[in-house]
Every structure is written in structure tokens, then in C-alpha cells.
Structure 1
Amino acid sequence: MRWIKRIDDCLHAYKLWFLILMVTNLLFIFFAWLAYPETFKVLVGLMIVFTLAMITLPVFLVMRQQKIIEAAFEDFLLEPNEVNEERLCRVSPKTHWSFIRKTGSVLRSYQEERNEQAMELADYENYIEGWVHEMKKPLSLMTLVLDNRRDEMSLLVRRRMLHVRDQMLGDVERILYFARLGAAHKDYMFEPIHLLAFCKQIIENHQTLLDESGFQIQFSGEEVEIFSDRKGLAFIVEQIIANSTKHMEKNQARPLLLFETVYDKGSDYIMFTIRDNGPGVSEEDVPFIFDKGFTGRRGSYTKEATGMGLFLVSRMAYDLAIQLEAKSELGSGLAISLQFPNVKK
């Protein structure tokens, strides 16, 4: 089929010349009929054989030349340097040389711009990562001072300072993960994790953030073992918790976070849901809460809403083969479900 298509393309490309050849043959056949009526059939047969040979040979040569041009053109597109440009000119008709040279000049210009932008982007990513690591130093010093000077400050002041520190650490982690989104190499290490125990450890590490917001924590379901990367999964859970604390109503009496596991041994997945009882998300906004920069109808009223936290959650979940699902209605809280593949031992 491929050869048939090539032959059809060739005949279509040179149909004018083939038409001229056929008209010329018809003219000579008419002359042969007038001049040599006794040998007319023999002459017509010879002319048909000669015509078929004259069509077949050029078609074969054109197809072979076309294949050489295609190979040179592919190399030219992959690397539009002057060597490939000259190679393409040598195998192409001379009438196309000017277009090839203009195309090569434009492609090289675009390639130089792209390389410069790639270098600038790499420098920017390196700067952001360096800045993030530098920011962690004063935050670590702040933790050290708060631990060593706890007797010199009131419990309320210390709790507020720890709350601010945890918020800053969360912002720094988001910047770092965002800068690493396009990295070619991502150092994930998958291992068995007991899910509820893992979440309890994360809650202990962010207890000041939850205490400041007055959250109550509840767990539901049985302990399950999943297979994932600890750092990546911790980032996902932390961002969901931070999202709930940011959007909780200030006058709400009993803010609640519920961690729930649902596991059927015969199923191919393990469902884990983090649910709050906050203001919720309108039904029309739910499909877009994982989009970059989306803050929804409440975003204009909530200064903390940047639309980046859940976007980073979705990107990290994609890397870890976790399927996300969100359910919510205004006034009924938000439930984010993480569906883990059930990895058989």
C-alpha cells in the first residue's frame, strides 16, 4: 500500500507531463495509421510498450530521488545547520535552493532563541532552588530559638510563631516543588507505607497549624498498606491539609478533618479520602479546582487563595500514579479522594 501511494503521488505530481506524452503518442498513432496502414497494429504495439517503459523508468527514478530528499529533509529539520542545508540543496532541484536557504536561516535563528531561553530558564530554576534552600536556614534557626527560648515567651506567642513558621515552610516547599515540575530526573523512591500511621505522623509535624485553626482530627476505616514515595505523598497530604486550614471560616465552631480509608481486598485500588466541614466549593467550580491558578468564586474573598496548592497536588499525584477526585457543595465541605493502585506482593 505504501508503494502504491508513492506511485499515485508521483503520477499526480507529474500528471501534466504524462498528459503531454499521451497526447503526443496519440498524434503519432494517427500518423502511423495514415502512413503505414498495413503495419499499423505492430507500430501501435511497439509505441505502447515504449510509452509504458518511458513512464515506468522516470517514475522509479523520481521515487528514488524523492526518498533521498525526504531523508535529507528530515535531518535538516532535526538539525538545521549549514551542513544539512547544503546536503538538502544538493539532492533538491535548483529552483528550491533559495527557499531551503531562507528556511535554514529562520530555523537557526529560532533555535538560537530557544537555546537562550532554555539557558535562562535553567538559571532561573537554579536560582529558585538555591533561594529556597537559603530560606530554610533562617527557618531552622527560628525553630531552634523557639525551642530553646520557650520559657521566655508566653504559650500563645510561641504557638503563633510556630504557626507562622509552618506557613512559611509550606510556601517554601510549594516553590521548590513547582521549580522541579519540569525536571528530567525525579528521585522518587517507592516503598510500602502504612497510610493512617503515615498521616498521623504528618499531623504531628503540623500540629501547630491545626491547633491555631482549632481543628479536630478523626480517622475512619482500617489501616492499609500502599506503595508510594514518602516525600511526594507527604507533600500531597500537607497541601490538602493546608488548603483546608486556609479556606476554613473564621467563625466556624468545630472545624474538622476526617481521614478515611476504604479497601476491598478483591479490588484493584485503595481509596483514601481527606474530608473537611468547611465552606465547600460550588458545584460548577469542582471540575477546575486542580487547574493552575484557579481560585473559584471564593478566591476573590480569600487573600490566601493562589490556586497553586491543589495544582501541585495534581501534578505530584500524576507522577505517583494516584488518581484524584474531588466532591463538594457550598456549605458541605470538601472531600478529596486519592485512589492508589493495589500493588500485589
Structure 2
Amino acid sequence: MRLFLLYIKERTAWILFFVFFQLWINILLTIDVSFTNTSLLYMNSINLFLFLIFFLWRFYQETRFIKSIVSISEKDSTFDQVIARLPNGKSLFDKIIMDELQELILLGKQELNDSKTVLLEEKDQALSWIHEMKTPLTSMKLLLDNVQDSILNKKLEVEWLRLHMLLDQQLHKTRLPFIEKDNVIEEVNLKSVIFQEIKEFKPWCMQRNIGFETKDLDEVTLTDQKWLSFIIRQIISNAVKYSREGQEIQIYTEKDELGHLILSIQDEGVGVSQADLPRIFDKTFTGRVGRESTASTGMGLYLAKNSAENLGITISVISEVGIGSTFSLHFPLQNKMQQILSR
């Protein structure tokens, strides 16, 4: 019905022309005495009937072509599938439109392929650069072990850790668009993952006298260990960065009423204002607190959320300025995880 009303609106010029033509004929036949015996009602009825038949026939012909095009866009298809399903068109104008449309699709396909090629080349270059940077970082780590001054050693270890974290962010940012090909889903013990990440932050935490309290971490979940470690790393990094000296970060698990495993990382830091809270996962967003720190890039939580979504993990946050923040990872149930794997 909606399509028919749109067709009537599109063909308003036809209808107005028919009405004008009928009025002109009626006036002409009324004035001309030689047509006094002609039945205007009969003539108008016949003309109206013929016009309606023509109008409905054209509606069927033209909308059939439109519907065949619309049905293609309603399905998930590749460029080749779209081209294969394109109708030929009946009229000359339809054929001209389809020829132009095919050329545009082929042009779009070529541009997309070119973009993919450039993206893959940039990815390879970025990965190559990251791996090249790992070599001097490893050498620096070995050299740090030989620094005799303990105070200087701790300061250098913290700076090395920051470099390592930035390089790690860049590595996962490069791999994120291809995360589906990089996933290895397996049973992961949360305790071992979290303890390993805490160990990585040891120099930074010792410098700021920040401790960890863990509870109920002996849980196993089905996920990708490498990407889960990266997500947890970003959240712990934020917790350490914005905690005050001498405070504790609490890490614990619980389950909701549906049986979802929830991993929470709670700090007692500066917190996030309610105005900034909806935007903390936006790309490059640093907020009021982040702008006061030159070390903040606004990429950690953005990458963590996008990585989590690809694993079916939902990240939520509760925060209050001056009290601290609690980031929670809601893991999917096993049947939901199987649906994600089958995509």
C-alpha cells in the first residue's frame, strides 16, 4: 500500500494531465453544438476506466523492477552476488540505469579491494616496526638488571614499562580489525592471567606503594587468553595510573542471577565524573583527569572495549569522583560463546 501511494505521488503529473485533458474535452463538447447528443458521463467513464487500467499496468511493471532491486539490498551479499542478482530491466531506461549501476558497483569493488590492499600493507609495516622495537626494549630490560643504583633502577623500570605498554597497545590496535582470525578460544584460568598481569605492573606499583587484594579468582572461562590478558592489562593500567599512593586495588569475581561470571577490578582513585562516564570508552577520549596527565592517550579503554565485544564480553563501569572506579567484565555463558564462535 505504501509503495502504491508513493507511486501515485511520483506520477502526479500524469494524473493532473489526465484531469486537465478531461476538463478540456468536456468544455469543448459542451460548447460545440454538434456534440449535443454525446453522453459525457459515458465518455468520461470509459476514459477513466482506460486510464486506470494503464496506470495499474505501469505500476505493476515499474514497481516489479524496483522490488527486485530492493530485495537485493535486504540480503547480506558480496559485490559479485549483488551483480549476479541484478535484474536486466524491461524498458530502455531501466537497462540504462542497470548498466550504470553495474559500473558503479564494479568501481566500488575495485576501490574496496585497493583499500584492503593498502590496509594490509600498513598492518604489515606496523607489525614489522613493532617487532623491530621489541629488540631494543628487550636489550634495555637486560641492561636494567645491571644498574646498581636501586632508586635509579626502579625509575628506569617504570619508564620501560610505560614504553612496553604503549608498544603493546599499538600491537593490539593493529591486530584488532583482524581479531576473528587471531582468536584461539580455550578454557582460561582467571587467577593465572590476573597474577601474571599484576607481576608485569610490579615496578610501577612498588614506586607508588600500590597493593592488590584478590578474592575468588579460581574460576575458569571460555575465551581467548591473549586478548583477555590485554583487556585486563588496560583496566589494571588505568587503576594504577589514577590511584593515589598507598592505596589498594581489589580484584574479585562473582556470578549474577543468570550464572554469568563477572570479574571486577576496583580502585580507590580519583574516579570519573558523571559527565565523562558515558564517553570513557570513546577513541582518544581522556576526560578531565586524563587531560591533567600527559601519559594518558585515551586509547586503552577504547581498545579494551572493542576487543571485549569481539569475545562476547561486556564491560561496565561504576565510578564517582574522589571515591574510585569499578570496572566489571561480564563473561558470556557457554552456549552464547558457541554462537559467537559460529559467526
Q: Distance in 2 between matches of 1:193 and 1:112?
A: 42
Structure 2 match to 1:243: 238
Q: CA deviation at 1:63?
A: 4.8
Q: Establish whether residue 255 from structure 1 lines up as the match of residue 253 from structure 2.
A: no
2:175 pairs with one of 174, 180, 184: 180
SS at structure 2 position matched to 1:182: helix
User: In the TM superposition, what whole-angstrom CA distance separates every residue of 1:18-56 from its partner, at most 9, and x where no partner exists?
Assistant: 21332245347647996464xx55x85366235412442
Task: Indicate conservation of the 8 Å contact 2:30/2:36, yes or no.
Answer: no
Instruction: Determine if contact 1:11/1:59 at 8 Å carries over to the other structure.
Output: no
TM-score (norm 1): 0.74
* 1:15–1:324 distance in 2 versus 1, CA, 3 Å: same
2:267 is the counterpart of 1:276? yes
2:322 to 321, 324, 331: 331
Out of 159, 181, 187, which is 1:164 matched to? 159
- The residue that corresponds to 1:82 in the other structure is none
State the partner residue of 2:18. Answer: 18
Q: What are the superposed Cα offsets for residues 268-320 of structure 1, whole Å, 9 maximum, x if unpaired? A: 42221101222323333233222222222222321211211112112112222
Count of aligned positions: 322
Q: Which residue of 2 aligns with 1:316?
A: 307
Matches of 2:334 and 2:65 in 1, distance apart?
50
Report if aligned partners of 2:215, 2:253 keep a CA contact under 8 Å in 1: yes
> Partner of 2:92 in structure 1?
91
Deviation at 1:229, TM superposition (A): 1.5
1:285 matched to 2:276: yes
1:48 corresponding residue in structure 2: 45
Name the SS of the counterpart of 1:284 in structure 2: coil
Q: Quick one: structure 1 residues 306 and 63, their matched pair in 2 at CA, closer, same or farther if it must change by over 3 Å?
A: same
1:57 aligns with 2:80: no
Shift of 1:105: 11
Instruction: Name stretches of at least 5 consecutive residues in structure 2 with no aligned partner.
Output: 73-78, 81-87, 337-343
Contact residue 274 and residue 335 of structure 1 kept, 8 A: yes
Q: Closer, same or farther in 2 for the Cα pair 1:305/1:47, shift >3 Å?
A: closer
Offset at residue 153 of structure 1 (A):
3.7
Summarize deviations over 1:196-224 as a string: whole Å, max 9, x none.
33212322344333333322111123632
For structure 1, which segment, 211-220 or 233-242, has the greater mean C-alpha deviation from structure 2 after superposition? 211-220
What is the rounded CA distance, in whole Å, between the counterparts of 1:329 and 1:152 in structure 2?
Answer: 41
In the other structure, the counterpart of 1:5 is 5
TM-score with structure 2 setting the length: 0.74
Q: Which structure has the greater CA radius of gyration?
A: 1
Name the Cα RMSD after superposition.
4.2
Does the residue aligned with 1:173 lie in a helix, a strand or coil? helix
Partner of 2:212: 217
| Alpha-carbon separation, structure 2, partners of 1:263 and 1:73 | 46
State how far apart, in whole Å, the 2-side matches of 1:68 and 1:181 are: 41
The alpha carbon displacement at 1:187 in A equals 1.9
Kindly report which structure 2 residues correspond to 1:189-208, keeping only aligned pairs within 5 A, or say none. Answer: 189-208=184-203
Gaps of 5+ in 1: 80-86
Letter in 2 for 1:262: E
Q: Is the 8 A contact 2:265 2:326 kept in 1?
A: yes
In 2: Cα distance, 1:281 partner to 1:226 partner: 29
- Report the equivalent of 2:140: 142
Give the conservation status (yes or no) of the 8 Å contact 1:277–1:334: yes
String of CA shifts for 1:146-184, please: whole Å, max 9, x gaps.
Answer: 4xx846745555544443333222111111222234348
Counterparts of 1:71 and 1:91, CA distance in 2: 17
Q: Which residue of 1 aligns with 2:83?
A: none
Q: 1:158 to 1:110 in 2, by over 3 A?
A: same
**What residue number does 2:75 align with?**
none
Q: Which amino acid in the other structure matches residue 327 of structure 1?
A: I
Contact preservation (8 Å) 1:7, 1:63: no
Q: Percent identity?
A: 23
Q: Deviations over 1:117-174 (max 9, x none)?
A: 665555433322221121122223334x34xx84674555554444333322211111
Alpha-carbon separation, structure 2, partners of 1:46 and 1:203: 92
Q: Summarize the Cα distance change of 1:314–1:151 in structure 2 as closer, same or farther, 3 Å threshold.
A: closer
Q: Is the 8 A contact 2:190 2:217 kept in 1?
A: no
Q: Is the 8 A contact 1:317 1:324 kept in 2?
A: yes
